[in-house]
Structures are given as C-alpha cells and as structure tokens.
Structure 1
C-alpha cells in the first residue's frame, strides 16, 4: 500500500521525505547513477547515501569512479568465505541501525537481489516508505515488498523509454527469431496491460465514472508497485493516459480556489 506521505510527495512540488539510500554494489550498475539519484530526488532528500561491496574486486571498478563525484559513502566489505554474501548482511545491519535512529521517513534499496525482501517488509512495518530500484530480473517478491519499485533500465543514459531490457541468455533462440547474437541485453517493448489498467481505473473512479489522475496512479501502485509509464514509452502517467485515446477520455478541471488544472479520466465507452 502506498503511504499517505508518498502520495503527498508525488502531488507536491518540493521533496518532503528524508531518505536513506543503500546500494548493493554486487547487484546494481554504476551506469544508472545519474538517473537513479535524479529519480530519488523526486521523492525526497537523500540524507544518507551508502554503497556496499568489495571495492578491491575488479567487478566494482565502475563504482569507484563515481563515488566521490556523487558523495556516496563506500562501505567496504571483504568476502571472508567463498559462496557467502557478507555484503547483504552488512547492508541489512546498517539499515536496521539507521531505522532505530528515527531520523528517516523512508529507505531507497538499490538492488536486484530477493534477499532484501525481508528487510523491505520490516521497514514497512515501521511505517516507513520503501522505494526499490533494480533490473527487470529482480524477483517479484522483492518488487512487491516495496511501496514503489522502479526498473533501472529506464534510468540508463540514452535509454529508450518505450523499451525494457530482457536478458539475452539463449543464443539458439535468438537465431530462431532472427535476432542478432550478442551478450548485451536486447531491448523489447512489453505488452501494455490493458485489462489491469482498466480494472484499476474502475476501482479508483467516482460514481460518475471519472477518476483524478493522482488517485488512479496511487491505486495502480497499490496493486502493482513496479508499474511505470516509462516502461511503455511515456515519460509521465499523464502522457500515457492522454495518448491512449482508444481506452480513456480525459478532461482538465480547475482545482477549487486555484488556477491549477487537474487531469481527470474515465474509460472510453
């Protein structure tokens, strides 16, 4: 369920949440850092930024280049034994320590690892907002444990917003579909979830059949935390709604006592 504080932030002009940003370097890509921090700024202020990993390992070389630039505090964690992920344990312990300071309104967990599902649930039990950031491969359990989950593929520099990355793990299957053989992800557009979106609209509209865009967006996130209009090629939810003229009718209404206009929508008959 999306918390009232998160809904208020989405509708407000200025960030209101004090956020702790915890990055799992073993399961996140440095290439998304610009888009990631810009996205977090939409929700609130990143008062703590920490990244966890073994920065003596070659796999963390890309992260070392951006830590100073973005004032991210590295939390060095050596791999004491083979096959054990000490990074996860350290991140979880730090998250609980930060939780009990009572200084934060929410946490941003940057990882594609399902091991943090329990942490996300525990933070939510304390009434804090949990924002998740990870790749498409992120297990559904972790995505649904967050109030809002965003795919980092749409945050990459030059990413085509109408496409999402799909792992290219079966070369033989690529050949059969006439696709180029490459170790890089192939970008494909997912099918638009028409039934899901219309059902969400039905449950968020008033007796006249009209729904406020903010109410509709909030209900979408309650049902599916990883729903993101950018996955389907639209920068904002309002852009998606206005473009889907075969599904929606829209109208703008003046807010009471204001010159600001709110977007309302209903299912096209």
Structure 2
C-alpha cells in the first residue's frame, strides 16, 4: 500500500494529455506519495503545445525539450522512456506515474514493474488496453476533477442499478473478489475487494460509473450487503436470494 513518504516520478507525454487536466492528475498522485520529479515532454516549438507552457509553469513541472527530427517518428516518447529508465536505475523511487494515452509506453510500464516498482497510469478513454493492463493502476482523466471544482457536480451521473447489473464484467469481478476475500462468515473487507479488483482490472475505479466511493458503487448494484464498522471501515458480502 502506498505511503505518504513514497517518492514518485511523474512523467507526462504532452502530445497525448490536455494541459487542463494536469492539476487534477497531480492531486490524484498526491494520494500515492510525494512527487520528487515532475517532467513533461514535447517539442515546445510546436504551436499545438502552447497551452502546456502555462500549465508547466503553474504546477512547477520541468519542460523537457525534444525536437521532432523525423516526421512520423515520436522522439518525445523515446526521450521519456530513456529518462524513466535512468530514474529507475537510481533506486530512489517507489512509483512512476506515466501520464499518456499512448500504447508506446506499454513495455516501459512492464519493465518498471519487473523491478517491483509500482506504475500508475493516467490517460484518456482511448488508451489502448495493452498500456492500461501494463500498469498496476490506471485512472481515466475524465473522472478526475480540478481541486477548485469541489462544489461542481460529478464528472458523470451515477449509473443506475439496472445498468450496473447488466455490466457482466463488473458484476463478475465484484462477485469473484468478494468471494475470494471473504472469511468463513461470508464477510469481506471492502478495501481488500477493491485491491483484488485492481489486480484483475488495473483501470477499475468506482468513478468510472459515477460513484465517488467503492462502497457506493457496490451498494448501488443491490447485489451485495455493505456495512460500516466502527473500526476497520466497510465490509461486504454477497446478498442471498432471500435478501439476507
């Protein structure tokens, strides 16, 4: 489990991430540890990256210049990968946050994880499954909200019970995870269920269905009983056919 003092490296692919989202990404990253390195890669002579200049300055992210020397070849990706490996070899970091929607970083994520270091991915819904699954945890940018937008409504309305139940992948994953994590009494610690879901589906996040908390998502399916304990958070078990 991530600790507040875990050192993290945040590496951003400017070509594949909108600058308006970086503040929300960094807020999310703060949940996992302390950001020691923040770098954003791109060809800053390109007009399409002009918005990143202000964002990088505001969030104190070091811009890494990489000229597009050959058309059709992504030199930016190569620069990010080389820097990531250099940072990995220092042995200083507990986790790497790769912010991109590009499948070119699939092997990088796999290689970092081979050393036992955690990889957090962030990207748009279009991000290929290969990159999402190569990360320990992958978060979609559209479920993140800017820190100043606390009073705004959720990014998406909560999915209703009927649609949740029709999501076979979600229901099967939750049932399997609850069963695996449960004790002889049938109850499972909800946080453990969430961890098991992440291992099966790195992009699993209750916010994908419009729910801020896992307990809210699980309860909304009406297939499980969720209880709040005085100590130890929530616990959950599969609801029996008689409703008990």
What range is the shorter-chain TM-score in? 0.7 to 0.9
Residue of structure 1 equivalent to 2:177: 200
Match of 2:87 among 88, 98, 119: 98
Residue of structure 2 equivalent to 1:253: 229
Task: State whether structure 2 residue 199 is matched by structure 1 residue 222.
Answer: yes
Match of 1:36 among 25, 34, 49: 25
Q: Secondary structure at the match of 1:109?
A: strand
Q: CA shift at 1:156, angstroms?
A: 4.7
Residue of structure 1 equivalent to 2:4: 15
Q: Cα gap change, 1:31/1:101 in structure 2, threshold over 3 Å: closer, same or farther? A: same
Where do 1:28-177 residues align within 5 Å? Answer: 28-157=17-146, 160-162=154-156
Cα distance per residue 1:61-100 (max 9 Å; x no partner): 1111111111100001110011110001000000000011
Q: Secondary structure at the match of 1:42?
A: coil
8 Å CA contact 1:161–1:231 kept in 2: the answer is no
Q: CA shift at 1:163, angstroms?
A: 5.8
Distance in 2 of aligned mates of 1:195 and 1:127: 29
Match of 1:232 among 209, 232, 236: 209
8 Å CA contact 1:130–1:146 kept in 2: the answer is yes
Residue of structure 1 equivalent to 2:239: 268
For structure 1, which runs of at least 5 residues remain unmatched after alignment? 1-7, 165-188, 255-259
Q: CA shift at 1:232, angstroms?
A: 0.6
Distance in 1 of aligned mates of 2:157 and 2:201: 19
TM-score normalised per structure 2: 0.88
Where do 1:181-196 residues align within 5 Å? Answer: 192=167, 193-196=170-173
8 Å CA contact 2:20–2:55 kept in 1: the answer is no
For structure 2, which runs of at least 5 residues remain unmatched after alignment? 147-151
Q: Secondary structure at the match of 2:92?
A: coil
TM-score normalised per structure 1: 0.80
Residue of structure 2 equivalent to 1:175: none
Distance in 2 of aligned mates of 1:163 and 1:208: 35
Distance in 2 of aligned mates of 1:159 and 1:52: 32
Q: Which shows bigger deviation, 229-238 or 70-79? A: 229-238
Matched length: 228
Distance in 2 of aligned mates of 1:194 and 1:150: 20
